[in-house]
Amino acid sequence: MKFIADSMVGTLAKWLRAMGYDVAYDPFLPDRLLMRQAREEGRILLTRDTRMIMVKDVPPYVFISQDKLEEQIAQVMGELKLIPDEDKFLTRCIECNGLLEASAREDIKQKVPPYVYASQRSFLMCPGCRRIYWSGTHLPNLKAKLLKLVEFMNNRRVNDRKDGR
């Protein structure tokens, strides 16, 4: 499943990318071009813009009614009946959405700080924006947050079933 996010849900777009979902996001793209791209690429529009969903030929969309990130993710997952796959976590560039590729250590030596090069054995690179990723000290915190988001979403699903939703 592919998404496109409007400028009102940029944080949601980045966290969905971190979860491995394909999310196009350009905060400067005008609404008409955003909707055209959604239709042409078969993407589901993620928006908080009430005017956009009133357009006659609006593509398939999820209107994000929640304010908090955790609730937004739970809403998208719940409405589309998605189940996050932990094996896909951190496989996309959170900046440009590209699929990350393993990079030979020698190829990035001049592109990362010396300490990072000396302390890390594996690196990933985005073929689009050339951003480099590695398992730094932030990685356990990032994975913990992703797992916490999944736990929040799962708890919400259980509670929704109990409430008959």
86-135 tens-digit pLDDT:
899 999 999 999 999 999 999 999 999 999 999 999 999 999 999 999 98
Can you give the pLDDT at residue 160? 64
Instruction: Encode pLDDT of 129-158 as tens digits.
Output: 999 999 877 777 888 888 887 787 777 666
> What is residue 149's predicted lDDT score, i.e. its pLDDT?
79
Strands (E), the chain: 2-5, 22-25, 44-47, 61-63, 101-103, 123-125, 132-134
Provide the terminal-to-terminal Cα distance of the chain, rounded to the nearest Å. 23
| Residue with the larger pLDDT of the pair 25 and 160 | 25
Q: How far apart are CA 63 and CA 93, in angstroms?
A: 24
What are the beta bridge partners of residue 23? 3
pLDDT of residue 139: 75
pLDDT digits (tens, 9 = 90+) for 29-68: 999 999 999 999 999 999 999 999 999 899 999 999 999 9
